[in-house]
Amino acid sequence: MTELSVNLNKIALLRNARGHDAPNVVEFAKKFITLGVKGITIHPRPDERHITRQDAHDLGDLIRPLDGIELNIEGYPSEDFLQLIEAVRPDQTTLVPDLPGQLTSDHGFDFHTQGAFLAPILSRLKNSGTRISIFLDPDLAQVRLAAQSQADRIELYTEAYADTFNRPNRQDIYQQYHEAAALAVNLGLGVNAGHDLNLDNLPRFVTIPGIQEVSIGHALVVECLELGINTVVRQYLAICQQGH
Residue 231's identity, in one-letter code, is: T
pLDDT given at position 114: 95
CA distance 16 to 10: 10
Q: Specify the CATH number for the domain of residue 107.
A: 3.20.20.70
Tell me if residue 215 falls in helix, strand or coil. strand
Q: Is 7 annotated as a binding residue?
A: yes
Catalytic, 3? Answer no
Residues in the chain predicted with pLDDT less than 70, given as ranges, are 99-106, 244
What is the rounded CA–CA span in Å between residue 75 and residue 81?
7
Catalytic residue among 3, 155, 178, 195: 195
Residue 138 has, within 13 A of its CA and on its CB side, a CA count of 23
Query: In which domain, by residue range, is 106 found?
Result: 3-241
As a whole number of angstroms, the distance between CA 68 and CA 76 comes to: 26
How many other C-beta atoms are found inside a 10 Å radius of the C-beta of residue 228? 11
Cα(44)–Cα(59) distance, integer angstroms = 12
Q: Which pTM was predicted?
A: 0.95
Catalytic residue among 3, 43, 155, 178: 43
- Write the burial class of residue 19 (CB in 10 Å: 0-12 exposed, 13-18 middle, 19+ buried): exposed
Q: 196 labelled as ligand-binding?
A: yes
**Residue 179 is a catalytic residue:** no
As for how many domains the chain has, the answer is 1
- CA of residue 19 relative to chain centroid, distance: 26
| Catalytic hit among 3, 74, 155, 213 | 74
- 45 marked as part of a ligand binding site: yes
